[in-house]
Amino acid sequence: MTTLSRRVASLKPSITVALNNRAKALQASGVDVLGFAAGEPDFDTPQPVKQAAIDALLAGQTKYMPTLGDMPTRDAIAKKLTEENHIPGLTGSHIAIGAGGKHVLFTSIHCLFDTTCPGDRQWEMLLPVPAWVSYAPICELAGGKVVEMDTTPDTGFRITPEQLRKAINPNSRVLVLNSPSNPCGTMYTEADLRALAKVVHETRDIAPDLVILTDEIYEKIVYGGVPHFSIGSVPEVAERTLTLNGMSKAYAMTGWRIGYAAMPGDFGKTFINAMGTLQGQMSTNITSFTYAAIREALSNKAVAAEVETMRQAFATRAKLIMGRLAEIPGVTCVEPQGAFYVFPDVSGLFGRTTPKGVKIDSALALSEALLDEAHVAFVPGEDFGGCGKNHIRISFACSEAQINGGMDRFAKFVDSLR
Ligand code: PMP
Ligand code: GLU
């Protein structure tokens, strides 16, 4: 028997993807599972966006395209980031389009890290945790070392400027920011982000290679009163900030697989071109007839109105699920300000036993028992890092009826614990 590469054999599977697949397989086999694992809107892609892709397909837009996207689409994204996010100095040449935010993240991380570095150095990713489950494995695959920066419910899951200043050292390569965040729904205010940018700027002699990677994929899903702010708009750090975004969440386009990255300045252009070189050896361009759909999504006012309707629905659902969780003893939860997840602390249930006799001693054990005995799929928090091991993630990107149904089951299950 031959073997797998060590890098891939040791790669941690995505728990969010795995649990979602598992819930879907159970549903397909006839089990009445209520799924709260998927980080994807239940809404359909707005009609004009679909129509734009259909029209492009019928018009024969079916061939290879430039690797990072056609210029009209890259220009449209640069315009969006300039006008909405106030990022200075962007042109289409500073934009890379790839097959989803995850793909663009993968490519950009591989353009930053090396498996070996001069002088035996190992580049570090500064990762505020709990964080989305893909940042750390992708960094490690690329040869980087992940340095977790702990946050807690008491600080609203936000790192402080002092914490960042202490963590920065000559090996610091990437600072990951994700506001609104998956899994906590945390948002950093403009003042918070300016303070973090100031630290990065002031420590530029200590960590000259540090790049801020800001994942803003949930920017349109905000409802907690904190407006979204792009750290890439702060002039002192603009040219060392890579802004990552995509169509999946804002436009209910998860299955289309479209993400993009932007970095202004001369180095930005070099960096984006390097992403193109790598992508040119991976996947080449994204599906040719979807570029028209990107332009439509970014420019059509009726689509913007649908995005707003979705945002309002998420706001209502956030309130609903917070109200239902508050009724469950042993469970505490910080109110999300954006995205569509809650991340309750369930450690109050640890030590108890389920009706089938399973001892709940971790978030993983709780999630497994909930799926097995109550047919609800939540994501255990361990793989999100830090204090995540005391939490579970519940995606509320589903109907109010499903939220109520799932919370009924969760409450009944907790009630049945001995
Ligand atoms: N960033 C975050 C924080 C996410 O939750 C996701 C969801 N998978 C992504 C990036 C990537 O999404 P996609 O690949 O669908 O664009
Ligand atoms: N981002 C979503 C989630 O966290 C989709 C799955 C994934 O790519 O991780 O559930």
Q: Which domains does the chain have, with CATH numbers?
A: 6-44+303-416 (3.90.1150.10), 47-300 (3.40.640.10)
Each residue's pLDDT tens digit, 318-356:
999 999 999 999 999 999 999 999 999 999 999 999 999
pLDDT at position 66, please?
98
Q: Which residues contact 281 (CB under 8 A, 6 or more apart)?
A: none
* Atom number, ligand 2, closest to the C-alpha of residue 14: 9
Annotate 206-239 with DSSP letters as a single string. Answer: T-TT-EEEEE-TTTT-B-SS-----GGGSHHHHT
- Residue 233 pLDDT exceeds 90: yes
pLDDT at position 121, please?
84
383 near 370, Cβ under 8 Å? Answer: no
Written as one letter, the residue type at 285 is N
* Atom number, ligand 2, closest to the C-alpha of residue 133: 9
Each residue's pLDDT tens digit, 358-404:
999 999 999 999 999 999 999 999 999 999 999 999 999 999 999 99
User: Which tokens go with 157?
Assistant: 């899951």
Q: Decide: residue 266, CB within 10 A, 0-12 exposed, 13-18 middle, 19+ buried.
A: exposed
Of 226, 223, 108, nearest to 176 by C-alpha is 108
pLDDT at position 243, please?
98
Each residue's pLDDT tens digit, 243-280:
999 999 999 999 999 999 999 999 999 999 999 999 99
Each residue's pLDDT tens digit, 78-118:
999 999 999 999 999 999 999 999 999 999 999 999 877 77
**Strand ranges, E, within 169-288:** 172-177, 211-215, 241-246, 259-262
Least distant ligand from the CA of 383: 2
Q: Is 233 in the pocket of ligand 2 (CB under 6 A)?
A: no
Overall average pLDDT of the 290-313 stretch: 98
Q: Is 51 in the pocket of ligand 2 (CB under 6 A)?
A: no
Look at residue 281 and give its three-state secondary structure: coil
pLDDT at position 332, please?
97
387 near 152, Cβ under 8 Å? Answer: yes
- Residue 193 pLDDT exceeds 80: yes
**225 phi and psi, to 5 degrees?**
95, -10
Residue 341's beta-bridge partner residues?
395
pLDDT at position 116, please?
73
Query: How many angstroms is it from 418 CA to the middle of ligand 1?
Result: 38
Stretch among 11-25, 289-303, 328-342 having the lowest mean pLDDT: 11-25
Nearest-CA residue for atom 16 of ligand 1:
101
Query: How many angstroms is it from 415 CA to the middle of ligand 2?
Result: 30
Nearest-CA residue for atom 10 of ligand 2:
39
pLDDT at position 242, please?
98
pLDDT at position 1, please?
86
Query: How many angstroms is it from 217 CA to the middle of ligand 1?
Result: 7
Of 378, 380, 366, nearest to 416 by C-alpha is 366
Q: Is 182 in the pocket of ligand 2 (CB under 6 A)?
A: yes
pLDDT at position 160, please?
98
- Residue 299 pLDDT exceeds 80: yes
Nearest-CA residue for atom 4 of ligand 2:
39
pLDDT at position 120, please?
79
pLDDT at position 237, please?
98
272 near 94, Cβ under 8 Å? Answer: yes
* Atom number, ligand 1, closest to the C-alpha of residue 246: 16
Question: What is the C-alpha to C-alpha distance for residues 24 and 22, in angstroms, rounded to an integer?
Answer: 5
* Atom number, ligand 2, closest to the C-alpha of residue 100: 8
pLDDT at position 18, please?
86
**92 phi and psi, to 5 degrees?**
-55, -30
Each residue's pLDDT tens digit, 146-169:
999 999 999 999 999 999 999 999
Written as one letter, the residue type at 69 is G
User: Which tokens go with 273?
Assistant: 């071109």
Q: Greatest CA span in the chain, whole angstroms? A: 64
135 near 112, Cβ under 8 Å? Answer: no
Query: How many angstroms is it from 15 CA to the middle of ligand 2?
Result: 9
pLDDT at position 386, please?
97
* Atom number, ligand 1, closest to the C-alpha of residue 178: 3
pLDDT at position 416, please?
97
Question: What is the C-alpha to C-alpha distance for residues 137 and 110, in angstroms, rounded to an integer?
Answer: 12
Look at residue 14 and give its three-state secondary structure: coil
186 near 156, Cβ under 8 Å? Answer: yes
pLDDT at position 408, please?
98
Mean pLDDT of the chain: 96
pLDDT at position 115, please?
79
